[in-house]
Chains A and B, each alone.
Chain A
């Protein structure tokens, strides 16, 4: 009797793992009904996979049956694999029992499309409704929006889910057309827009009437597959930037393509997933969201791809040496934030600390900036006289040779942010 459910879970967890989002943060669902769970604050990683990714949600497909044939997807119709489908009850029980044992923060539920969009979406909604209403479950729920599902169903789903997402899959329309002729970016924009409008509307209502229901409190996200089609980094990040702006997305995820198909349109099986590139894209994403950079400054026609050997912030600084050095004792917070080797936390501390007196080298080190890297770009109270005749390529050489060279030695692995 165990075998059947074990096999289903194996198939449907395996097929869901390529969706990289694991975040369980950003919601504010309290346990007010003496039910089970809460999802306040910033989520917990209960475990980590051997590839170092956080495991915080039970991430599964309802089914891997699908009527579509997207070339990049393991669940595509033409792929000869084992198929399975959970019942509504099975998903509810798995979620409740995993949650009760402190294995997970909640559920990430997606699905292949069987029969049609509404048929699939209706089942997804039934599961989350049952969890919230019958089981009084307050844990985190991330629900996939099925492209083409009716607005009534989306609206109902939004009442129970903390986050909803719908994947762009390929960064450009032409890339998508190449691998999934039946799909388009339009199919993604429509529901994103609809849900976003409802979020805004219900927020307004909530400010008037306290008891107005929560609607997708942790917002929406999307994912793009990187390296399956020949887009430039510029195309990828400009698309991301537009989607952040147009739909107030909470996150865009970049998932390095893992070859799973012998389709000649795709990289061959066994080739390395582009993990460094993926990391550089995440760094760029952070520069846009937290460091006040416009995507145009980092990626443009003159510079359409990110460097592999240095991070995009350093790369930008080297291309704009005329804006340096920055005097940490007088410069704007905004400009301090742009110095390679200074993060958001340190920049804030610098601005606070300098009120008590001019900052010296040892204080900057204590504050926690990456001094070795930053020193080329800053002036401080006791900075040495510097003949600034460095050119960019020389500076890059100096910084690379001084760094502990995490960039050069471990090209296979994910890098840390900055």
Chain B
């Protein structure tokens, strides 16, 4: 068993697949740099990300997989999960070694694992599209921060860009310390140096930064949420199934 260490990027992972062939590796285990704990007894191979190699592997996969599968591949990569990285490496080798159509073999454990992980990431994407709550800042930008389980910002960018085409917005991932900023023309990645650590609680932007009307609308939304409930039909089990408790902190209507 060879141990491959890569830099955690998609290029790195695809380069690793290329290297497997070039080095004629047998069984391989792949781990990302941040999770690698050097061990004197085990030798490791450090993958050097190379666009050229990555592109060739990507193109090879595209010949064998349809668009949906390529998207699944990308989504499961965004899970940032160590086991999924390994599944993706093995999956790629399996697909490249076999004729097209192998992606339908759900009897293969890597095929199954990736399609299930892609589903999970997709669910998180959908939840973020639903649960993000913007606050309007004094300079007219709509701001929200999130801490998604997976790195879904790249997946939700288009949705928000199409929907909020006439307002500037920022969605910031506090966990991964980067965000998206839409300036009415294009979406850009941004990194902020928050002077104090930003609290993950919602409404964490200090009032001084907010538009004077912001308080009113978040209040009205809370009022609305309460008024639209029908107590005679109360069903908390169903409620929690729809909004798992870990998401409540995003939702202004769930704050006291």
Q: Is B66 an interface residue (CB 8 A)?
A: no
Query: In which size bucket is the chain B interface?
Result: 35 or more
Q: Is the CB of A51 within 8 A of B239?
A: yes
Report the minimal beta-carbon distance from B24 to chain A, rounded to whole angstroms: 35
Q: Which of B126, B216, B220, B223 has most A Cβ within 10 Å?
A: B220
A102 touches B237 (CB 8 A): no
Contact of A413 among B129, B231, B235 (CB under 8 A): B235
Determine, out of A52-60, A246-254, A378-386, the stretch whose residues face the partner at the interface.
A52-60
Q: Does B230 have its Cβ within 8 Å of any Cβ on chain A?
A: yes
What is the bound-complex CA distance between A49 and B167, given in angstroms? 28
- Grouping DSSP codes into helix (H, G, I), strand (E, B) and loop, the A interface class, with mixed when no group exceeds half, is loop
| Interface residue B122 (Cβ < 8 Å from any Cβ of A) | no
| Stretch from A92-100, A146-154, A157-165, A216-224 forming part of the interface with B | A92-100
Instruction: Write out the residue numbers on chain A whose beta carbons fall within 8 Å of the beta carbon of B225.
Output: 47, 49, 55
- Known A-B contacts A9-B223, A9-B224; A49 and B230 likewise in contact (beta carbons under 8 Å): yes
Size range of the interface on A?
Answer: 35 or more
Judging by beta carbons under 8 Å apart, are A101 and B239 in contact? no
Contacts of B217 in A (CB 8 A): 97-98, 101
Contact with B along A74-114 (1 / 0, CB 8 A): 00000000000000000000100110111100000000000
Contact of A35 among B166, B227, B238 (CB under 8 A): B166
Chain A residues whose C-beta falls within 8 Å of the C-beta of B218 in the assembled complex: 101
Instruction: List residues of chain B with CB within 8 A of the CB of A52.
Output: 233, 235, 237-239, 241-242
Q: What is the CA–CA distance of A2 and B213 in the complex, to the nearest angstrom?
A: 10
Which residues of chain B are within 8 angstroms of A48 by Cβ–Cβ distance? 238-239, 242-243
**Cβ of B96 < 8 Å from any Cβ of A?**
no
Task: Check A101 against B130 for contact (C-beta < 8 Å).
Answer: no
- Chain B residues in contact with chain A, CB under 8 A? 126, 129-136, 142, 144, 162-167, 213, 216-221, 223-225, 227-239, 241-243, 251, 253
Seed contacts A35-B165, A103-B221, A273-B233; 13 additional CB < 8 Å A-B pairs: A13-B223, A14-B228, A31-B165, A36-B165, A47-B225, A50-B231, A51-B229, A51-B230, A51-B234, A53-B230, A101-B221, A136-B166, A413-B238
Can you report 11 A-B residue pairs in the complex whose CB atoms are below 8 A from each other? A37-B163, A47-B225, A47-B253, A48-B243, A51-B231, A51-B233, A51-B239, A98-B217, A101-B136, A102-B132, A136-B166
Top 4 nearest A-B pairs by Cβ distance?
A52-B238, A51-B233, A13-B227, A48-B242
